[in-house]
Amino acid sequence: MVAPALATADVVVVGAGSAGCVAADRLSRDRSRTVLLLDAGPGTRPEDSQTSLARLPIEPGAPRVRRYPESRGRDVVRGAGLGGSSVVNGGYFLRGHRDDYATWPWPIDRIEAEFASLEQVMSVSAFADDELGTVATAFEAYWGRAAVTGRSPRAEDSAWPTVGLNRVRSNRRDGRRVTAADAFLTEAFLTETFLAADPAAPRPGLRVVGDCPVDELLVAGGRVTGVHTALGRVDAPAVVLAAGALGSAALLLPFLGPDLPVHEHAERLVRFAARRPVEAPALLQTVLHTADALEIRCYGDDFAAFINGVPASGIAVGVADMGAGTRGSITSAGVDLGVPDAESLRRIDGGVDLVREMLHAPELADLVVSGSVRVDENVGMSSHAWGTVPLGLGRDIDGLHVLDGAALPGPLRSGPHASVMAMAGLIAAEIS
């Protein structure tokens, strides 16, 4: 027997992460529409101590994190609660390359306008020269002269990354991440339960409820009718899935299964010991994009300096394949992020050779302890899982919209955060 509905809404948004906050904001601008935004994690805003750009609050036991079991035993971390992964991520907020959006169903001018407005709301700016940490300064000195990529000097002030050096643009204010909740839920009415919203609130139709995992999508006769949650049933003629690439896929498996794809950016780390203390105001301040779709990531320090409980293992430079990505799968048994194929590994290892050369170059001679360079044997992942329900999939269920990292339709040559949020805005604007 189905439990009686505890609430109704015109639209339920499942997941208050990067995409869900954008969607809730866009949909609740219409004051006559009731929007219920539900998240499995805490319904509170993060503490200031959790949003410093110089830390990643993802250690085991961290309060705003969910770990998904992965069949190859890898640590798959996602943010949970208001702001979702935007609360715990690296604060790197780059667009993809302009031509990465050729597969998106909107004209590039529309996409560009969405990015421009998003970047303003998220307080995005490039790190300035005098903000660069020790390793980032040496990295740019090397790649600024090396003609390895055929286009070494950084494209000053361009919002579109290109092949070559790209100074990281970051969503930040006073050394802290500006989270999706900071930017888009400023006027939200936060409630513990499904209470009626305050009619005097700036967004009278928007209610936000935390600690409320959705465990089932309700569909009847090819139409979505609501969701079932830990607190009871919610009836709604429209449901927006924004539970993240893994969370949204889990809810869709009963309808689109038995398995759904998932992609990741495989990354190999090269590590070295430093001859002197390094300063690192943020995890990632500069990256090199190569013509063969690698992103060479200049991490500012040892990961142990950013994440509590991680053993010290040397300052890291990452070589990530930003091409098609790995092809893993999600089933009711769990997540498998897949592994890079032989061609991807060959390119990654070509990038590793470039990094070795850099670490032995004169620009880094006073920084790198001689003989300390080591390459990780295992290839890791970038916490970028995407494309489990690419745009279009699931469209045959009336009233259902998927607009988070699950919906990304193809590879991006930069990290996904900015693109996920822009896509959420573009899709939400089309929901009538």
Ligand X SMILES: Cc1cc2nc3c(=O)[nH]c(=O)nc-3n(C[C@H](O)[C@H](O)[C@H](O)COP(=O)(O)OP(=O)(O)OC[C@H]3O[C@@H](n4cnc5c(N)ncnc54)[C@H](O)[C@@H]3O)c2cc1C
User: Which of 63/153 has CB closer to ligand X?
Assistant: 63
Q: Which is nearer to ligand X, 52 or 152 (CB)?
A: 52
Comparing CB distances to ligand X, the nearer of 140 and 264 is 264
Residues that bind ligand X (CB under 6 A): 14-20, 38-41, 56, 58, 66, 77-81, 84-86, 88-92, 213-214, 242-245, 247, 383-384, 404-405, 415-417, 420
For residue 191, what are the β-bridge partners? Answer: 209
Assigned token pair, 254: 């009963």
Two tokens, residue 171: 């969503």
- Residue located via tokens 């866009």: 26
Write the CA distances from 397 to 11, 202, 394, integer angstroms. Answer: 15, 32, 6
Strand intervals (E) in 151-205: 164-167, 169-173, 176-177, 189-191
**Closest residue to ligand X in the complex (CB):** 17
Closest distance to ligand X from the beta carbon of 358 (Å)? 22
Contact between residue 320 and residue 267 where contact means Cβ atoms under 8 Å apart: yes
- In whole angstroms, the minimum distance from the beta carbon of 29 to ligand X comes to 19
Closer residue to ligand X, CB minimum distance, 209 or 373:
209
CA distance 184 to 109: 23
Which lies closer to ligand X via its Cβ, residue 70 or residue 361?
70
- Other C-beta atoms closer than 10 Å to the C-beta of 385 total 29
For ligand X, give the closer residue by CB, 176 or 373.
176
- Cα–Cα separations (whole angstroms), residue 12 to 8, 32, 35, 93, 236: 9, 15, 6, 27, 7
Between 251 and 364, whose beta carbon lies closer to ligand X?
Answer: 251
Q: Are 321 and 266 in contact (CB under 8 A)?
A: yes
Which is closer to ligand X, CB of 21 or CB of 354?
21
Tell me the closest approach of the beta carbon of residue 385 to ligand X, in angstroms. Answer: 7
Q: How far is the CB of 40 from ligand X (least distance, A)?
A: 4
The answer to whether the CB of 130 falls within 8 A of the CB of 139 is: no
Q: How far is the CB of 406 from ligand X (least distance, A)?
A: 7
In whole angstroms, the minimum distance from the beta carbon of 41 to ligand X comes to 4
- Say if CB 272 and CB 314 are below 8 A apart: yes
In whole angstroms, the minimum distance from the beta carbon of 6 to ligand X comes to 15
Residue found under tokens 């219920």: 36
Backbone angles phi, psi at 102, to 5 degrees: -60, -25
Of 55 and 268, nearer to ligand X (C-beta) is 55
In whole angstroms, how close is the CB of 393 to ligand X at the nearest point? 15
Contacts of 193 (CB under 8 A, 6+ apart): 209, 231
- Listed residue (268, 255, 253, 267) closest to 331, CA to CA: 253
DSSP β-ladder status, 380-381 and 328-331: unpaired
- Distance in Å, CB of 365 to ligand X, minimum: 30
